[in-house]
Structure 1
Amino acid sequence: MRRDLFRSAFVLGSCVALCCLSGAHVAAAQPSDAGVVVREDFSSRGLPGQWRVVGGKWRVDGGRLVGDSGVGRGVVTFGGGSADFRFEARARFERGEESKRWFGLGVDVPASGSRPETVGVVRGGKTGFSFGEGSGEGAPVPFVGAADGEVRVRVEARGRQAVWFLDDRQVLVTSRSQASGGVALAVGGGTVSFDDVRVTRVRSSAFQRVAAAPVTVVAHRGASSVAPENTMVAQEVGRRSGAVFIENDVRLSSDRVPFLMHDTTVDRTTDGVGNLSALSAAQLRGLDAGSWFAPAFAGARIPTLAEQLADLRTRGGSLLLETKQADSIEDIATVIDVVRAENMTGRVMVQSFDPQHLRWVRALAPEIPLGLLRDKLDADPVAVSQELGLALYIPSGAALEARPGVVGDLHAAGLGVWVWTVDTAERWGRYDGYGVDGVITNRAGELNGWLSGRAAGR
């Protein structure tokens, strides 16, 4: 396959920097059906109405849809139109060289078949199925399946995130979908047949994980266990460690430029001194934010929020942004202006310990999801969440242990639950058992390795 074939299909296996696996070890939130919009068993002779062939040759034969890629790739688009849906099909390789044939389910494909698009690719091979990344390279799925047998494929798409399953086992996840809801079937390197194609709109919090999916991995202050926190190098390591979200803190300089910094002062994490809010952007840019951590990071700088967002936009990743300093709605507006200027409202969530910060964000940018941080649980977390218009309730691990049943209550109300800041396998397992949807950790790579190892039965 050519490198430009798919914008966002991810290699799985040992490459935990791009995806992570988990067995069906927890009764995670399963969204309810809100209506089947496509149901096709190909009992008629012709291609269903409104299905559009944009590549290759497609026909209905023997109660199955048959796609032949020809010399390029075959694509047929149809249905969709929703950001939250389930896409299911049964597929079987019919013809083609084993190492080259593939098929894909697309969850973000314009009706015209134009790019960019998001398609998960399944390859046939002697050891089973694998996903490729456009270059045609892939890693085996950690179970063996017959290359010529039929496989059930399901995609759970929630906003920008999509999770692919083969025979009910998760094999691929991406958070880079454009969330257009345009669905498609694609084939390459030969002939593939499909049956029982169904698209179902679902009602779900985009932050609740679907059944059998792993927790969302959130890199706390970037990969802060191995790189200086709140720096671009920490963000890069967090991304390569497989984190879906990078968590960082924002404060305003004296001339009102948003910078990434957890503490009130720059004393602990730079070679400077003083309150960040008393220093200008020029002064902050001159500080060394890496030497305190290790000599190898000497010269790392405090990033501006704009620099961070530009990197995420072009190189991948989403941001969980904690507001640390906001004395007025104007302070929050300054942060929101940067998010909008970088065209990143669809990939940023704002969290805070201060409910007033979240009220201001909601008033200024209702399209940005909100999370409330808590070191102790509210008496009624559901009521507080509903009053604030939250997408996520984010307690500390200790707070969650006091009332683990609150996860079910929040799920029933349509909310997601993430937990902070958890760095040991024993606690990962405990909170995963509670059914949390995400884990904020200083050790994103280790958490992804733990998830992959458990899924593989180690």
Structure 2
Amino acid sequence: MMTLNPPPVRGNTPAPAGRDTRRSRRTPVFVAALLVAAAVGAGAAATAEPAPAGAEPGRVHVSENFDGSALPAGWRAVDGTWRVQNGRLYGTSASSSQNNKITFGTYLAHFRFEATVRFESVTASTRWAALGLDVPATGATPWWIATMRSGSTAANGLEFAERTTGDAWNVTETAAAPTAAGTGRDVRVAIEVHGSQARWSFDGREILRTSSLRRSGTAGQALFVNGATVSFDDVRITELAPSALLRPPGSPVAVIAHRGASAAAPENTLVAQEIARRGGADWIENDVQPSSDGVPFVLHDATVDRTTDGTGAIRSLTSARLKTLDAGSWFAPHYAGTRMPTLAEQLADLRTRGGRLVLEIKGAHTRAEVSRIVAIVREQQMTDRVLVQSFEVDVLRYTRELAPELPLGLLRSTLDADPVAISTELGLATYNPSSAALLSRPAIVGDLHRAGIALMVWTVDTPAGWRQLDDLGVDGIITNRPAELVGWNAAQG
């Protein structure tokens, strides 16, 4: 199921004028890996994503047309000049050093933030306006924004970015808009946020995604201006239900990184996970099995022989012994010393640095072993970012009993006689067949979708294969080449 020809990898942009686009610019794998290794070691602050009490999907929390003459109640002009005039809200920032903001709203785990934005004047085409996605009422850092430059067709015309507690920029994704915002033109922008995930739409077209938002659990929304005078109208914030796994019409297929970016780095390691994340993967896929002392580790094979310098069955080795093994040299000398992560370590990395996990419980597990896995997912506050899949029906039944909040996927090498029936029986969110199995009976895509069940198909690494599955309307593709599939998605428009 795995190919080992390294794909290109996108790099993170460390400054506000980020230059690497998520879906276009490519950098050599091993150069990116040097940066990744340092990033993985550095870690980041932990954040939680609690669902607010009394969540009300569909409720409109903010709807403002600025028909009055004063700032709306509850809106706080933190810095800069903000005024309501002629049915619009105007914000002014005199220079590129001023990230002026007005805050409002309340914390929402899942919401859609829409606004009509018009640049009235700019000091340069690089200056920007932004929708604040997670911003304290005081404007204090850290905060997250979705940025649009006046010169929006530049490679970094649209961005997702964080202003850190150190007052530095962390630009996670960039892209070019299809048309220039310019000055004097209304642009309708919308950001759909689901926990750490966000999708950016520009004049009704989805352009950019991120899985890297770190949510505060307390902060609300904001509008920003930088080196410009910008007017805003028709600001609307609508609470959404938690993200469904079914693919929205017109959206690209979800990219699921098989054992991380396993064509570019040693599989099922944190460096493979980081490369996949930087390449734009929507999900990381892994394999979990216990050590002899019951600690879940991330490993595909029943033994450590192929992917480490050790020997023996994972279930016969202690966690202490497993942590001494070199899990990188087999792939390339550059990765010497890479360690097998525990499930807890992998989840902590996803929680702090961004991303969602398709967690495969590999092989037969007892109920107690599944319970240990569930407990770790909960301890890491990742229940809203983990989907559990397995070939083992008993494993899925145990998971459903122990953690009904976790979505489930059934892996299949050959199709069941009635995929909808078994999906309904097991309470599945996804049915996950091999590509060959699905192509033997493609009509099941419609059958499953009509039953509200998504399809994540494995493991496909070629554009021709992606095209077949995309045409069938599958919801996600598991691939060893996530960065290439991200780029392929973008090329389809």
- Short-chain TM bin: 0.7 to 0.9
In structure 2, the residue corresponding to 1:256 is in which secondary structure?
coil
- Cα distance change on mapping 1:358 and 1:82 into 2, 3 Å: farther
In structure 2, the residue corresponding to 1:173 is in which secondary structure?
strand
Give the C-alpha shift of residue 224 in structure 1. 1.7
Q: Give distance in 1, aligned partners of 2:417 and 2:408.
A: 20
Q: Give distance in 1, aligned partners of 2:361 and 2:22.
A: 34
Equivalent residue for 1:153? 189
Equivalent residue for 1:44? 68
Equivalent residue for 1:130? 157
Equivalent residue for 2:295? 257
One-letter amino acid of the structure 2 residue matched with residue 153 of structure 1: V
In structure 1, the residue corresponding to 2:129 is in which secondary structure?
strand
Q: Give distance in 1, aligned partners of 2:441 and 2:107.
A: 39
Equivalent residue for 1:193? 231
Q: Judge conservation of contact 2:77–2:101 (CA < 8 Å) in 1.
A: yes
- Cα distance change on mapping 1:217 and 1:136 into 2, 3 Å: closer
Q: Give distance in 2, aligned partners of 1:286 and 1:125.
A: 51
Q: Judge conservation of contact 1:321–1:350 (CA < 8 Å) in 2.
A: yes
Aligned alpha-carbon RMSD (Å): 3.4
Q: Calculate percent identity across the aligned residue pairs.
A: 52
- Cα distance change on mapping 1:63 and 1:142 into 2, 3 Å: closer
One-letter amino acid of the structure 1 residue matched with residue 373 of structure 2: V
User: Given the alignment, which residue of 344, 350, 372 partners 1:306?
Assistant: 344
Give per-residue Cα distances to partners, 1:261-281, cap 9 Å, x unaligned. Answer: 111122332333322101122
Give the C-alpha shift of residue 353 in structure 1. 1.7
Unpaired runs of at least 5, structure 2: 1-13, 33-56, 164-168
Give per-residue Cα distances to partners, 1:202-247, cap 9 Å, x unaligned. Answer: 4564323334332221111122223322223322332333223221
Q: Give distance in 2, aligned partners of 1:396 and 1:333.
A: 28
Equivalent residue for 1:352? 390
One-letter amino acid of the structure 2 residue matched with residue 14 of structure 1: S
Equivalent residue for 2:113? 87
- Cα distance change on mapping 1:358 and 1:265 into 2, 3 Å: same
User: Given the alignment, which residue of 184, 200, 209 partners 1:164?
Assistant: 200
Structure 2 length-normalised TM: 0.78
One-letter amino acid of the structure 2 residue matched with residue 443 of structure 1: R
In structure 2, the residue corresponding to 1:320 is in which secondary structure?
strand
Q: Give distance in 2, aligned partners of 1:260 and 1:140.
A: 33
Give the C-alpha shift of residue 367 in structure 1. 3.6
Q: Give distance in 2, aligned partners of 1:321 and 1:162.
A: 21
Matched length? 438
User: Given the alignment, which residue of 202, 207, 212 partners 1:176?
Assistant: 212
- Cα distance change on mapping 1:168 and 1:108 into 2, 3 Å: same
Give the C-alpha shift of residue 286 in structure 1. 3.2
Equivalent residue for 2:147? 121
User: Given the alignment, which residue of 254, 257, 260 partners 1:219?
Assistant: 257
One-letter amino acid of the structure 1 residue matched with residue 354 of structure 2: G
User: Given the alignment, which residue of 246, 254, 274 partners 1:208?
Assistant: 246
Alignment of 1:73-84 (within 5 A): 73-79=99-105, 82-84=108-110
Q: Give distance in 2, aligned partners of 1:441 and 1:106.
A: 33
One-letter amino acid of the structure 1 residue matched with residue 182 of structure 2: A
Q: Give distance in 1, aligned partners of 2:312 and 2:485.
A: 35
Give the C-alpha shift of residue 430 in structure 1. 1.4
Residue 278 of structure 1 pairs with residue 316 of structure 2: yes
Give the C-alpha shift of residue 426 in structure 1. 0.8
Give the C-alpha shift of residue 56 in structure 1. 3.1
Unpaired runs of at least 5, structure 1: 19-32
In structure 2, the residue corresponding to 1:106 is in which secondary structure?
strand
Give the C-alpha shift of residue 381 in structure 1. 3.7
